[in-house]
Protein backbone atom coordinates (compact mmCIF):
# COMPACT_ATOMS: atom_id res chain seq x y z
CA UNK A 1 0.00 0.00 0.00
CA UNK A 2 1.23 3.53 -0.76
CA UNK A 3 2.53 5.22 2.41
CA UNK A 4 1.28 8.59 3.59
CA UNK A 5 4.70 10.03 2.75
CA UNK A 6 3.73 9.81 -0.93
CA UNK A 7 1.23 12.67 -0.58
CA UNK A 8 3.74 15.36 -1.69
CA UNK A 9 4.77 13.19 -4.65
CA UNK A 10 1.16 12.59 -5.71
CA UNK A 11 0.30 16.27 -5.35
CA UNK A 12 3.39 17.29 -7.31
CA UNK A 13 2.52 14.82 -10.05
CA UNK A 14 -1.01 16.17 -10.20
CA UNK A 15 0.24 19.75 -10.58
CA UNK A 16 2.66 18.58 -13.29
CA UNK A 17 -0.21 16.95 -15.22
CA UNK A 18 -2.18 20.19 -15.17
CA UNK A 19 0.90 22.17 -16.22
CA UNK A 20 1.39 19.95 -19.26
CA UNK A 21 -2.15 20.37 -20.60
CA UNK A 22 -1.70 22.06 -24.00
CA UNK A 23 -3.05 25.56 -24.44
CA UNK A 24 -5.62 26.33 -27.15
CA UNK A 25 -4.17 27.05 -30.57
CA UNK A 26 -3.88 30.77 -31.30
CA UNK A 27 -6.25 30.58 -34.28
CA UNK A 28 -9.07 28.98 -32.24
CA UNK A 29 -11.85 31.20 -30.93
CA UNK A 30 -10.86 32.02 -27.31
CA UNK A 31 -14.09 31.17 -25.50
CA UNK A 32 -12.92 29.22 -22.43
CA UNK A 33 -16.02 29.96 -20.36
CA UNK A 34 -18.44 28.73 -23.02
CA UNK A 35 -16.34 25.65 -23.76
CA UNK A 36 -16.07 24.79 -20.09
CA UNK A 37 -19.79 25.18 -19.58
CA UNK A 38 -20.60 22.97 -22.53
CA UNK A 39 -18.32 20.30 -21.10
CA UNK A 40 -20.10 20.40 -17.76
CA UNK A 41 -23.48 20.20 -19.49
CA UNK A 42 -22.31 17.24 -21.54
CA UNK A 43 -21.21 15.47 -18.38
CA UNK A 44 -24.42 16.13 -16.47
CA UNK A 45 -26.45 14.65 -19.33
CA UNK A 46 -23.92 11.89 -20.00
CA UNK A 47 -25.67 8.64 -20.94
CA UNK A 48 -23.43 6.79 -23.40
CA UNK A 49 -20.48 5.66 -21.24
CA UNK A 50 -20.09 1.91 -20.78
CA UNK A 51 -20.73 0.26 -17.44
CA UNK A 52 -18.00 -1.43 -15.49
CA UNK A 53 -17.48 -5.02 -16.63
CA UNK A 54 -17.76 -5.89 -12.95
CA UNK A 55 -21.48 -5.44 -13.56
CA UNK A 56 -21.56 -6.72 -17.14
CA UNK A 57 -19.34 -9.78 -17.43
CA UNK A 58 -18.61 -10.93 -20.95
CA UNK A 59 -19.31 -7.70 -22.83
CA UNK A 60 -16.24 -6.53 -24.83
CA UNK A 61 -14.43 -3.25 -25.41
CA UNK A 62 -14.12 -1.75 -21.95
CA UNK A 63 -11.59 1.00 -21.38
CA UNK A 64 -9.09 1.55 -18.60
CA UNK A 65 -5.70 0.16 -17.65
CA UNK A 66 -7.30 -2.23 -15.14
CA UNK A 67 -9.72 -3.57 -17.77
CA UNK A 68 -12.67 -1.32 -17.12
CA UNK A 69 -13.82 2.08 -15.99
CA UNK A 70 -16.86 2.90 -13.94
CA UNK A 71 -19.18 5.43 -15.51
CA UNK A 72 -18.04 8.03 -12.98
CA UNK A 73 -14.41 7.46 -13.94
CA UNK A 74 -15.25 7.64 -17.63
CA UNK A 75 -17.05 10.97 -17.20
CA UNK A 76 -13.96 12.45 -15.54
CA UNK A 77 -11.59 10.83 -18.05
CA UNK A 78 -13.54 12.12 -21.06
CA UNK A 79 -13.79 15.66 -19.70
CA UNK A 80 -10.13 15.69 -18.68
CA UNK A 81 -9.05 14.56 -22.16
CA UNK A 82 -11.16 17.42 -23.58
CA UNK A 83 -9.27 19.95 -21.46
CA UNK A 84 -11.55 20.24 -18.43
CA UNK A 85 -8.80 20.47 -15.83
CA UNK A 86 -10.36 22.28 -12.88
CA UNK A 87 -10.52 19.69 -10.08
CA UNK A 88 -13.27 21.43 -8.13
CA UNK A 89 -15.49 21.60 -11.24
CA UNK A 90 -14.88 17.93 -12.02
CA UNK A 91 -15.85 17.07 -8.45
CA UNK A 92 -19.11 19.01 -8.81
CA UNK A 93 -19.85 17.17 -12.07
CA UNK A 94 -19.68 13.84 -10.23
CA UNK A 95 -21.78 15.10 -7.34
CA UNK A 96 -24.44 16.34 -9.80
CA UNK A 97 -24.39 13.02 -11.69
CA UNK A 98 -24.89 10.95 -8.57
CA UNK A 99 -28.48 12.01 -8.04
CA UNK A 100 -31.28 9.53 -7.58
CA UNK A 101 -32.15 9.61 -11.27
CA UNK A 102 -32.67 6.58 -13.54
CA UNK A 103 -29.71 6.31 -15.91
CA UNK A 104 -29.79 2.69 -17.12
CA UNK A 105 -31.43 -0.68 -16.52
CA UNK A 106 -29.86 -4.07 -15.82
CA UNK A 107 -31.85 -7.28 -16.35
CA UNK A 108 -30.22 -10.27 -14.66
CA UNK A 109 -31.58 -13.50 -16.12
CA UNK A 110 -29.90 -15.56 -13.40
CA UNK A 111 -32.25 -14.13 -10.78
CA UNK A 112 -35.07 -12.90 -13.06
CA UNK A 113 -34.63 -9.41 -11.66
CA UNK A 114 -34.60 -5.97 -13.25
CA UNK A 115 -32.63 -3.14 -11.65
CA UNK A 116 -32.96 0.60 -12.09
CA UNK A 117 -29.53 2.17 -11.69
CA UNK A 118 -28.08 5.65 -11.46
CA UNK A 119 -25.02 6.91 -13.34
CA UNK A 120 -22.65 5.24 -10.87
CA UNK A 121 -24.21 1.79 -11.22
CA UNK A 122 -26.00 1.94 -7.87
CA UNK A 123 -29.45 0.37 -7.75
CA UNK A 124 -32.41 2.64 -7.19
CA UNK A 125 -35.11 -0.01 -7.46
CA UNK A 126 -35.57 -3.68 -8.34
CA UNK A 127 -38.44 -5.92 -9.43
CA UNK A 128 -39.02 -9.50 -10.52
CA UNK A 129 -39.44 -10.22 -14.23
CA UNK A 130 -40.09 -13.17 -16.52
CA UNK A 131 -37.69 -13.65 -19.43
CA UNK A 132 -37.85 -16.20 -22.26
CA UNK A 133 -38.56 -19.83 -21.47
CA UNK A 134 -36.67 -22.71 -23.07
CA UNK A 135 -36.64 -22.34 -26.84
CA UNK A 136 -37.44 -18.64 -26.59
CA UNK A 137 -34.29 -17.54 -24.74
CA UNK A 138 -33.86 -13.83 -24.12
CA UNK A 139 -30.54 -12.81 -25.74
CA UNK A 140 -27.81 -11.25 -23.61
CA UNK A 141 -26.31 -7.94 -24.63
CA UNK A 142 -26.43 -4.17 -24.59
CA UNK A 143 -29.64 -2.52 -25.78
CA UNK A 144 -31.43 0.81 -25.67
CA UNK A 145 -35.10 1.68 -25.50
CA UNK A 146 -35.89 2.41 -29.15
CA UNK A 147 -39.66 2.94 -29.05
CA UNK A 148 -42.63 3.05 -26.68
CA UNK A 149 -46.37 2.42 -26.92
CA UNK A 150 -49.00 2.30 -24.21
CA UNK A 151 -50.54 -0.68 -25.97
CA UNK A 152 -48.99 -2.80 -28.71
CA UNK A 153 -50.26 -5.92 -30.44
CA UNK A 154 -48.11 -8.95 -31.23
CA UNK A 155 -49.42 -10.61 -34.37
CA UNK A 156 -46.98 -13.47 -33.94
CA UNK A 157 -48.32 -14.41 -30.51
CA UNK A 158 -51.77 -12.82 -30.87
CA UNK A 159 -51.64 -10.87 -27.64
CA UNK A 160 -51.76 -7.29 -26.42
CA UNK A 161 -48.70 -5.92 -24.63
CA UNK A 162 -49.22 -3.09 -22.17
CA UNK A 163 -46.75 -0.20 -21.78
CA UNK A 164 -44.40 -1.56 -24.42
CA UNK A 165 -40.76 -0.42 -24.23
CA UNK A 166 -39.03 -1.84 -27.31
CA UNK A 167 -35.38 -2.88 -27.24
CA UNK A 168 -35.03 -3.80 -30.92
CA UNK A 169 -36.32 -1.85 -33.90
CA UNK A 170 -37.95 -4.93 -35.42
CA UNK A 171 -40.20 -5.35 -32.38
CA UNK A 172 -38.66 -8.71 -31.54
CA UNK A 173 -37.75 -7.90 -27.95
CA UNK A 174 -38.93 -5.43 -25.38
CA UNK A 175 -40.19 -4.90 -21.84
CA UNK A 176 -43.93 -4.84 -21.14
CA UNK A 177 -46.90 -5.92 -19.08
CA UNK A 178 -49.82 -8.06 -20.23
CA UNK A 179 -53.59 -7.96 -20.02
CA UNK A 180 -55.00 -9.89 -17.08
CA UNK A 181 -53.11 -10.71 -13.90
CA UNK A 182 -52.58 -14.48 -14.04
CA UNK A 183 -49.17 -14.12 -15.70
CA UNK A 184 -47.87 -12.13 -12.72
CA UNK A 185 -47.78 -15.32 -10.63
CA UNK A 186 -44.91 -16.46 -12.84
CA UNK A 187 -42.76 -13.37 -12.34
CA UNK A 188 -39.40 -14.40 -10.97
CA UNK A 189 -39.19 -17.36 -13.35
CA UNK A 190 -38.85 -17.90 -17.10
CA UNK A 191 -42.18 -17.75 -18.92
CA UNK A 192 -42.14 -15.38 -21.92
CA UNK A 193 -41.48 -15.74 -25.64
CA UNK A 194 -38.23 -13.80 -25.22
CA UNK A 195 -39.40 -10.42 -24.00
CA UNK A 196 -38.98 -9.09 -20.48
CA UNK A 197 -42.36 -9.32 -18.77
CA UNK A 198 -43.11 -6.86 -15.98
CA UNK A 199 -46.05 -6.61 -13.62
CA UNK A 200 -48.81 -4.36 -14.92
CA UNK A 201 -48.25 -1.85 -12.11
CA UNK A 202 -44.48 -1.69 -12.56
CA UNK A 203 -44.68 -1.56 -16.38
CA UNK A 204 -46.98 1.46 -16.15
CA UNK A 205 -44.74 3.18 -13.60
CA UNK A 206 -41.52 2.54 -15.51
CA UNK A 207 -43.10 3.54 -18.82
CA UNK A 208 -43.78 7.01 -17.42
CA UNK A 209 -40.18 7.51 -16.29
CA UNK A 210 -37.96 5.78 -18.85
CA UNK A 211 -36.80 7.62 -21.98
CA UNK A 212 -35.99 6.67 -25.54
CA UNK A 213 -32.28 5.92 -25.59
CA UNK A 214 -32.07 4.62 -22.01
CA UNK A 215 -29.47 1.80 -21.95
CA UNK A 216 -30.72 -1.66 -20.97
CA UNK A 217 -28.13 -4.36 -20.25
CA UNK A 218 -29.23 -8.00 -20.19
CA UNK A 219 -26.80 -10.25 -18.29
CA UNK A 220 -26.73 -13.69 -16.73
CA UNK A 221 -24.76 -13.45 -13.50
CA UNK A 222 -25.82 -15.38 -10.38
CA UNK A 223 -23.26 -13.43 -8.33
CA UNK A 224 -24.32 -9.97 -9.44
CA UNK A 225 -24.45 -7.73 -6.35
CA UNK A 226 -25.18 -4.11 -7.18
CA UNK A 227 -24.53 -1.55 -4.44
CA UNK A 228 -27.56 0.41 -3.22
CA UNK A 229 -27.92 4.10 -3.97
CA UNK A 230 -26.18 6.50 -1.63
CA UNK A 231 -25.31 10.14 -1.98
CA UNK A 232 -21.67 10.69 -2.85
CA UNK A 233 -19.64 13.03 -0.67
CA UNK A 234 -17.37 15.65 -2.19
CA UNK A 235 -14.43 13.84 -0.57
CA UNK A 236 -15.34 10.58 -2.34
CA UNK A 237 -15.86 12.43 -5.64
CA UNK A 238 -12.48 14.10 -5.22
CA UNK A 239 -10.79 10.74 -4.74
CA UNK A 240 -12.34 9.53 -8.02
CA UNK A 241 -11.16 12.65 -9.87
CA UNK A 242 -7.61 12.34 -8.51
CA UNK A 243 -7.52 8.63 -9.26
CA UNK A 244 -8.26 9.39 -12.93
CA UNK A 245 -6.06 12.44 -13.51
CA UNK A 246 -3.18 11.33 -11.25
CA UNK A 247 -3.25 7.58 -10.53
CA UNK A 248 -1.98 6.91 -7.02
CA UNK A 249 -3.78 5.84 -3.85
CA UNK A 250 -6.45 8.54 -3.23
CA UNK A 251 -7.45 7.09 0.13
CA UNK A 252 -3.88 7.39 1.32
CA UNK A 253 -3.75 10.98 0.04
CA UNK A 254 -6.69 11.91 2.22
d(CA 215, CA 167): 9
The model carries a pTM of: 0.60
Output the average pLDDT for the chain.
76
DSSP 8-class letter at 50: P
At residue 152, φ and ψ (nearest 5 deg) are -130, 145
**Range of 237's domain?**
4-20+32-98+231-253
| pLDDT beyond 50 at 183 | yes
Q: Please enumerate, as own/partner, the contacts of 107-111 that have beta carbons within 8 Å and a separation of 24 or more.
A: 107/131, 107/138, 107/196, 107/216, 107/217, 107/218, 107/219, 108/219, 108/220, 108/221, 108/224, 109/138, 109/140, 109/218, 109/219, 109/220, 110/219, 110/220, 110/221, 110/222, 110/224, 111/222, 111/224
CA distance linking residue 128 with residue 61, whole number of Å: 29
Whether 26 is in a domain gets the answer: no
The residue ranking higher by pLDDT, 211 or 20, is 211
Q: Are 254 and 144 in contact (CB under 8 A)?
A: no
225 within some domain: no
Residues 158 and 139 in one domain: yes
Give the model confidence (pLDDT) of 197-211 as tens digits.
999 999 999 999 999
Identify whether 226 is part of a domain: no
52, pLDDT greater than 60: no
Does residue 74 belong to any structural domain of this protein?
Answer: yes
Shared domain for 176 and 205, answered yes or no, is yes
Residue 68 and residue 169 in one domain: no
Question: Does any domain span residue 192?
Answer: yes
- The per-residue pLDDT for 237 is 86
Helical axes 71-81 vs 234-245, angle rounded to 10°: 60
Rounded distance between C-alpha atoms, residue 32 and residue 45, angstroms = 20
Tell me the average pLDDT across 112-118: 95
Are residue 211 and residue 109 in the same domain, yes or no? yes
78 & 163 share domain: no
Tell me, what CATH number does 215's domain have?
2.40.440.10
- Nearest partner of 230 among 135, 126, 118, judged by Cα: 118
Q: What is the DSSP string of 68-84?
A: ---HHHHHHHHHHHTT-
Whether the Cβ atoms of residue 91 and residue 78 lie closer than 8 Å to each other: no
Q: Which of 222, 224, 157 is nearest to 194 (CA)?
A: 157
Q: Which helix (H) or strand (E) holds 116?
A: strand 113-117
| Nearest-10 Cα torsion for 57, 60, 62, 65 | 90
Does residue 32 surpass a pLDDT of 60? no
Question: Are residues 147 and 168 located together in one domain of the fold?
Answer: yes
Alpha carbon distance 224, 53 (integer Å) = 11
Higher pLDDT, 118 or 13: 118
Residues 42 and 141 both lie in one domain: no
If asked whether residues 51 and 137 sit together in one domain, one would say no
Same domain, 80 and 142: no
Note whether 213 and 134 are same-domain residues. Answer: yes
pLDDT for 65-93, tens place per residue? 334 467 778 888 889 889 888 899 989 88
| The pLDDT of residue 137 is above 60 | yes
| DSSP one-letter string for 138-161 | PPPEEEE--EEEEEEEETTTTEEE
User: Domain count of the chain?
Assistant: 2
User: Is the pLDDT score of 24 beyond 60?
Assistant: no
Amino acid sequence: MTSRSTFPACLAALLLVFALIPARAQDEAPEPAASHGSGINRAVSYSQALLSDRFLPGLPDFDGASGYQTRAQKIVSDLFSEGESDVSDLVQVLVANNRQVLDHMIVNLATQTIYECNVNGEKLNENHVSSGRSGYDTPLGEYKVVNQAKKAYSQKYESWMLHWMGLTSDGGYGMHGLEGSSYERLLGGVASHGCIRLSREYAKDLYGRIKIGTPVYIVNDPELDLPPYREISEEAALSIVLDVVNPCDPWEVF
